[in-house]
Structure 1
Amino acid sequence: MAYREWTKSMRMLLWIGVLFTMASALSSAFVNVFLWKQTKSLVMLAIFNGLQYTMMPIVFFVSSRLYRIRRESYLRFGIFLHALFYGLVLWTGNRANPYWMGILLGMGAGFYWYGYNLLSLRLTESRARGEFGSWSGMLGSLATMVAPLVSGFTIASINALGYSIIFSLSLGFFASAFLVSQRLESIEETELPVPIFRRQHPNWNRVLLGNFFQGIREGVFVFFAAIMIMIATGSEWGLGKYTSINALLSSLSFFAVGKLLRWHRYNESMLIGSFLSSGAIALFLFEQDYKTITLYGIITSIFSPLFLVPFGARIYHVIDEAHERYEREYIVEREIVLNAGRVLSIASFISTYRFLSEEWIPPYLLLIGSMQILAVLILRNVGFRLKKMWEDA
C-alpha cells in the first residue's frame, strides 16, 4: 500500500513516531553523556540503562492486566512521562540521580511502546506493515540524523547551558507528539486479560527465543558506542556528527530495504544483515580508536536494516496468524523476553568490566553481538502464510 492509501490513523501514528523519535534523538545519547560526565563510570551508565530495561516489561505486564482503557491512552501517558523526565532533569541539573532517571524513563518507554505496538497491530493492515516499517525506519533515521547535529553543536558551543536548551527542545517535541495523538482513532480494550505464556502457536516460542538473543545483542550497544566516541573525541560535537552520519546511512538503507526486499528473500536478508553487523564488532579486537568506532557505526548502519525490517515483519505476522484475540498477551510476552535479554547483557557487562581486565571487553562485545546470528537461525524456519498475503497485495 502506498502512503496515500493509508488511513488517517496510520498516518497520524507514523508522525507521532517521528516526533517521538526526534525528541528522543535530541537528548537520548546526550543523557548518557550527561550522566557519564557526572559519574565517570560506565557501571553507573549500565545501571541507568539496565533499570530502563527492567521497568519496561513490568509496565507492559501491568498495562496488559488493565481493562476498559483506550489503547491510545497508554501511548499518551508514555509521552507525558518522557516530558516529565526531561522536565525533572532540567530542574535537578547536576543533582540528577541515575536510579530515579532510569526508573522514570523506563516507565515512560514501557507505556509508550505498549500503546504504539498495539496501535500498530490494530491500525495497520498486514499488507502495509512492511511499507509502514520502512517509512517509520526511514523518517526515524532522518530525525536521528538531524537531531544529534543540532544537539552536538549546541552543547559544544554553549557548554553547560547547551544541555538545558536541548532538553527543553525535547520537551517541546514530546508536547507536539502528545497533541498529534489526540487525532488518533479511539480503540478501547474490551477483552478481559488472560494469563501470559500460555500460547500454543508452534512458531511463537521461536519468536520469543529469537527476541531474547536480539535483546542480548542490543543491551550494551545502546550506550557503549556513544561513550566510546565521547572518550575518543572529548566533544559532544564529535558524537553528534557520528550519530548523524550513521543515521543518514541507516535511513537510506531502510528506504532501499523497504522498496526492494521481497518476502521470499527475508532469510537471506536477515542472515547477511546479522553476519555483517556482528562482524563489524570484531574490529574492536584490534583497535578501539575513533576510526574503528566510526567504521563499526557505518557498517552497522548500512546492514542492520537488512535484519530489522524482516525481523519485525515476521514477529507481527506470526501474531496475526496465531490469534488476534491475544495480541496484548503476545506483545507483553515478547517485551518480557526481549528485555530479559537486554538486562542479562547489561549484567554480564557489569561483571566483565568489574572483575576482568580491559582486554576482555572486546571479546565480550563480539560474543554478545553475535547473538543476533542465533536469532536469525531460530527465525529462518518460522513458517506463516506470507506468500498468499503478498500475492493478494
Structure 2
Amino acid sequence: MTRPLDGVTVVAIEQAVAAPLATRNLADLGARVIKVERVDGGDFARDYDHVVHGTGAHFVWLNRGKESIAVDLKTPEGRDVVRRLVAKADVFLQNLAPGAAARLGLGADDLRATRSGLIVVNLSGFGAGGPMTRRKTYDMLIQAEAGLIAITGTPETPVKTGIPTADIATGMYCAQAILAALLRRWRTGEGATVEISMLEATVEWMGYALYTRMYAGTQPERMGLGHSSIAPYGAFPTRDGRILIGVQNDTGWRTLVTDVLDASALARDPRFATNIQRVRNRAECDAAVAARTSHWSTADLDERLAEAGIPAAHLKDVGQVVNHPQLRARDRWREIGTEHARVDALLPPVTFADFEAHMGDVPALGQHTRTVLEESGVDADDLIARGIAAQA
C-alpha cells in the first residue's frame, strides 16, 4: 500500500533527540529524510554510548530509515550542498545553536525568499525573543525550567523523569506541525516558517499542574507513585509484592472495595464517599485499601481487578517490557540494520489498517554522502578528497 508520506523529502541538520525524533516519525510514514551531519563525528548522539552492537542506543532509536550525508558547514561548498538539497525538498528542519542557521545563510527568510512553498522548521530551547533566546539547553534543564522536576519524585526528593520527556514532547509537536504544514500546502500551495520551543512544549505538558497552581494557589505536591488529585492511586502491597491501582471515579471506588476487596463497609464510609473526600483523607483511604490488598498474591489480585474493570498494573522492569506479552502477541517488533549488526526495533504506535510503518536501517555516518551529492549535481569525489564531505 502507498505510504502516507511517499514523495515527501525532508532535509534535516539535526542532533540529539528532539529533532531526530520528529524526522524519524516522518521517515516511518514514508518520507525521505536526508540527515546532514558533521564530518568530524556526526550527530553527537552517535557516541552517547555504543551499547547496541557498537552503535549508540539513542541513535538507533531515533535515526532509522534516514540517509546520512556528512559535510562541513563551515565551508562555502558544504553550505552550498545543503542549499542544493533544500532547493528540491519539501521540508527543512534544523536544531543548531540559536542563530547559527541564519549565520550560515540557512535561515527561513533566506531559504523561502525564492521558494515560498518551502516548509522551514526551527527547533530551539526557548524560541525567538525573550531573555533566554540565545541560551543553549538540553532535556534536564528544560524539565527544570518548565517545573516538571518540581512535581516529579517523592516529597523529600525532586527528580527528573527517567526518559527525555522535554525532548520527546518537542519532537512530537514538531512532527505534528510539519504534517499540518504539509496538509495546508497541499491545499493552498503555501509554505510555512515553523518555530518549536522545547520550553513551551514541556510547559504545555504540565497541564493540570499549571491550572492547579494558577487557580488553587497551591504547588502540586510530589507524590512518588501517587496522584495529587486522585485517591486511591498508587502502589499497594500484596502477599508477594506490590501492584498499582488507580481509581478515577466514585463508581470505581465502590466496585473496588465491594467486588474486589470484599470490604463493602468502605463503600458506605462517609470519609471515602467521593474522590474529593478520599483525597482529603488520603492516608486513611490508602491504609484501608492496603489492609485488604495484602490478602492476595499479585497475580490473583491482578486477575480480580481485571475482571472487575478496575485499572491496575504490575511494576515491570525494562527487561520485562522487552518481552511484554501484549507487545509479543501483537507482533510489534521488527528487525532493522545498523552499521554493525541487525537489531530489533519497536514498530511506531500508530497502526494503519492498510500500511505498516517503513522500518528502515540506521545509517552509518556519511553512508549516503556520495549518492546524495551526485544527485545534487556536485562533484562528490572532489569534496570528499578535500575533506569537505565524508563517505562512510
State the TM-score, normalized to the length of structure 2: 0.24
**Bigger radius of gyration, 1 or 2?**
2
Q: Which has the higher strand share?
A: 2
Q: Which has the higher helix share?
A: 1
State the TM-score, normalized to the length of structure 1: 0.24
